A and B are shown apart, each in its own frame.
Chain A
Amino acid sequence: MQEQFNEVFTKYHEVITWGVYGTAIALMLIGLYAILIKKNLVKIIIGLTIMDAGIHLLFVGIGYIQNGTAPIFSPGYENAADRMVDPVPQALVLTAIIIGFAITAVALSLVIRLYKHHHTAKIDQIKSLKW
């Protein structure tokens, strides 16, 4: 099973790499679209989350190397230093996910507050503050 997977993966490595990058960029663009075009506050927040997800995927993608192993010196992997995937992007992604979670939570609580105040979640109907 593992060998078969490796074989397929080696064969289509190029395709999969570009697939990951392409998905990441597509997610970022979808998120951007939602942030810029959508009028509903919750949808805007979803857009922000999707955009973040795209960036996180890109982070993990750039750290990956073909046939890589975990960046730990364990038995059988003493000389695998050049095959180890870069752990830094993964650590960064964990932090970024947590931060994204916090931002989403604060944003949603603000939406609840706004909804109670204005009785709508449409961004173009909430405009008591202006230049």
Chain B
Amino acid sequence: MVITPIHYIFVPLVAAFAIPLLSKINKELPRIIPGFVLFYNIIISIVLMQQVNEFGYVSEVIAGWKAPWGINLIITPFSGFLVSLISVLGFLIWMYGYRFKQVIDRGELRTYNILQMMMITGAIGIIITGDIFNLFVFLEIVAITAVSLTAFYRERDGAEAGFKYLLIGGFASSLILLAILILYTQVGTLNMAEIADRMHTVPSGIKATILILFIVGFGIEAELFPLNGWVPDAYSQAPGPTSTAFAGIVAKAGVYGLIRIIFTLFDIDGAYDFLITAGLITMIVAEAAALKQTNLKRMLAYSSIGQMGLALVAFGIGTKEAVFAAMFLLFNHAVIKSLLFMTGSILMYNSKDKTINSIKGIYKKLPIISLLFALGAFAIVGLPPFSGFWSKLYILTAAADKNMIFLIVTILAVSIVEIVYYFRVIGKLYFAEDENVIEIHKPTPQAFVAMAVLGVTIIVVGFNPDLVTGYFHNAADILLDKASYIKYVLNVESVIQ
């Protein structure tokens, strides 16, 4: 069997439909099948990444309709990197969540597993599709599954968080639909490469309108201020593995959507300045809000928003170095923030009232989890020698190359704020007297393995950043080379067939 990009979408969909039937046979199957599917995603990623390294692009034409007419899936080095990251994270999150839930009834277990798998599939779909309307459809798949997962626990305030998310998301999706509509009247095509090719014929006023509508729409998934009101609520109310997936997977897909639209479709200078401004505001507001949080997961959520802001700033600088640094940051954020959410969820689960104060001295009972949390915290604030240090350093040097002093000062100032609130948690964790007398729920061995893999990645990449930097340099070059993307999609048939 030849592995092609469509397997990313096809296999999980078939599995999602099969799970309700198969769960009649054995009630363990809904837990196990997503694991196989997500592991298969990793295999697809490995095969496709080899082809990407060889040819530069991999694309697939669906149902025999060639690129401008039909829907095509395209994997560039940038999207290939994100898809592989998401596949690996998806599998690790599955391992982590395998027995995370206490035994809940069969129906809920089924829903949870199907929704979680479909959310990952939707995120992958956003990244690999080459058709703007298809992008919208996948965005909706992500939105609906994410909302349902947010409202998963009946006893929490999940429904409220979910409704907020749905309202913002539904409104945004209407705006994206409107943007696609206006775009279609102007260029008469839905294929992203062809849109990019014809974009210069569109009057600049209309161009700006479309761009604003798109930015608002994707800014919601990318956690852009002020569209991120749903983020802290959804992250704190969703089940632990799901908030991990929000940070590691959904946010990445949103950023990808924004970047693809700004870099490939619209190439106007104002957009880059906008990215820098929006990113800076997002970063400052989020880190300031994180400082005053008492709930650990909310704090992590705000920190996640701040990191996404930093990534957008780096993309907005727009030079090759900066784009490279932004990709590195996306990689680091996915790995580190996933680790933080995984360990943080376990710490919260074992604390008395889910606040930062109630985890005092818990390290005696959960030494390894506490150590991994501390490792993640050190890495995300950018202490050497962990991987977070390198991406921050590269962003700062890229900003210095363009003499953006204000940017450098702000990023450093925000880093200090980050250090303050992360170290406050670590201080409570390690150096405060233990007040809790509660029963400790140890995480499962699978969860330990998942977290250990992430922890080892942080350290290994921290000591050897060269392992990944070469690839990101190449990916940044190709992302900025819009012409080759257009040429590849419109002229050449699939490499695979």
Chain A residues near B (Cβ < 8 Å): 28, 35, 41, 44, 48, 51-52, 55, 58-59, 62, 88-89, 92, 95-96, 99, 102-103, 106-107, 110-111, 113-114, 117, 126, 128-129, 131
A103-B144, A117-B159 as given contacts; A92 in contact with B170, CB under 8 Å: no
Q: Does B184 contact A (CB under 8 A)?
A: yes
CA–CA, A59 and B136, complex, Å: 15
With a CB–CB cut-off of 8 A, which chain A residues contact B178? 28, 55, 58
The smallest beta-carbon distance between B172 and chain A, in angstroms, is: 11
Q: Are B137 and A62 in contact (CB under 8 A)?
A: no
Apart from A113-B159, A117-B157, 12 more pairs, CB < 8 Å: A51-B171, A52-B177, A55-B174, A55-B181, A88-B184, A102-B140, A107-B163, A107-B167, A113-B154, A117-B160, A129-B161, A129-B233
A44-B167, A113-B159, A114-B163 as given contacts; A99 in contact with B137, CB under 8 Å: yes
Total cross-chain contacts (CB, 8 A): 80
The smallest beta-carbon distance between B269 and chain A, in angstroms, is: 30
Q: Does B219 contact A (CB under 8 A)?
A: no
Interface residues on B, range: 20 to 34
Q: Does B185 contact A (CB under 8 A)?
A: yes
Classify the secondary structure of B's interface with A.
helix
**Of all chain A residues, which has the CB nearest B163?**
A110
CA–CA, A3 and B289, complex, Å: 67
Interface string of B134-170 (1 = CB under 8 A from A): 0001001001100110010010010111111011001
Task: Report which of A62, A99, A103, A128 forms a contact with B160, defined as CB distance below 8 A.
Answer: A128
Classify the secondary structure of A's interface with B.
helix
Task: Report which of B151, B157, B173, B181 forms a contact with A58, defined as CB distance below 8 A.
Answer: B181
Q: Are B184 and A103 in contact (CB under 8 A)?
A: no
25 CB < 8 A contacts A-B: A35-B167, A48-B167, A55-B174, A55-B178, A55-B181, A58-B178, A88-B184, A92-B184, A95-B137, A102-B140, A103-B144, A103-B170, A103-B173, A107-B166, A107-B170, A110-B147, A110-B162, A110-B166, A111-B163, A114-B159, A114-B163, A117-B159, A117-B160, A128-B157, A129-B233
Q: Does B349 contact A (CB under 8 A)?
A: no
